[in-house]
Chains A and B, each alone.
Chain A
Amino acid sequence: MSHTAEKTTTKTIIRVKTRRHGELEVPEDKILEFPAGLLGFRDATRFAIMEDDRGLPFKWLQCLDAGDLAFLVAEPAAFFTNYELEIPDEVLESLEIQGEDEVLVLLILTYRQDRKVITANLQGPLVLNSRNQKGRQLVLQVASYSTRYPVVWLDRDPDSPASEERGEAPCSS
């Protein structure tokens, strides 16, 4: 991993060598800032969103402070018909969010190879202000929102009985 910040006359560009996306040059206006980092990754404060080129509704949240660190993420609408999230006032204020149209919500995804399933972390969603590029990971106190909620099954017919897992069985820890 290596990165250098380079001040030119008008803007900063971050150069970072990443495992998944090769060498990146990210201009300042594409840098997402998570001032508090992510839980367990306090020092990971700068990210960029990389599109996944498979035509799937997934993106990569690539860390610019550590090139090896990247999260597979997706907007809730990729999986859910009517996802709603109540964002505490304190979070809206800290991200300087002024209106609903500025809010971008991303869920961090985990591929569970053993079960051939992709789970979404519903309990710790990422909230971003798309205007000022600031973000934060929430900690929701919603009992039914698991950190490992299955959203995609990879080797099964989605209409098979496996879908009953959704209702009650988040993957156990």
Chain B
Amino acid sequence: MLVLTRSREEGIVIGDAIEVKVLDIRGDRVRLGVIAPDDVTIHRKEVYLAIQEENREAARDSGQDLDRALESLRDSGIRKVDPPAPVDPPASGRNGDSS
């Protein structure tokens, strides 16, 4: 891993099109700004990993147990509910966290 030390307002560039800038440092929290082309996706790592992990889990076909479970649903059916209200995370957005 390449390790660089940067101060507030300093940044790094990756290739020609991607820039990562340190906007603010407070205690153990660092605010980063990222400038990248639209087709480059940027995600918080923990969210990305959670989805990756869940995909792996979903791919683990529980075979007959799942079949039995689905059979049992035939009679009981599925009750519809409201989905959770979308709530933005405390700080979010491609163009920088709102403070």
Contact = CB atoms under 8 A, between A and B. Distances in A.
Interface string B38-69: 11010110011011111111110110011001
Interface in A137-173: 137, 139, 141-149, 151-152, 154-155, 158, 163, 166-167, 173
Interface residues of B, number: 43
A82 B80 CA distance: 10
B82 A39 contact: no
A16 interface: no
Interface stretch (B1-9, B18-26, B27-35, B86-94): B86-94
A152 B52 contact: no
Nearest to A149: B84
A110 B54 contact: yes
A51 B85 CA distance: 30
A90 interface: yes
25 contacts: A20-B61, A38-B55, A39-B48, A39-B51, A41-B55, A54-B74, A55-B74, A56-B78, A57-B78, A79-B83, A82-B83, A84-B83, A94-B39, A108-B54, A108-B55, A113-B69, A123-B51, A139-B41, A139-B48, A139-B51, A142-B89, A144-B84, A152-B73, A154-B69, A173-B50
A81 interface: yes
A56 to B, nearest CB: 6
A14 interface: no
Sorting the interface of chain A by its residue count into under 10, 10 to 19, 20 to 34 or 35 or more gives 35 or more
A52 B88 CA distance: 35
A169 to B, nearest CB: 11
Residue among B51, B58, B76 having the largest count of chain A Cβ atoms under 10 Å: B58
Contacts, number: 138
A64 to B, nearest CB: 15
B79 A158 contact: yes
A127 interface: no
Contacts of B85: 144
B70 interface: yes
B99 interface: no
B71 interface: yes
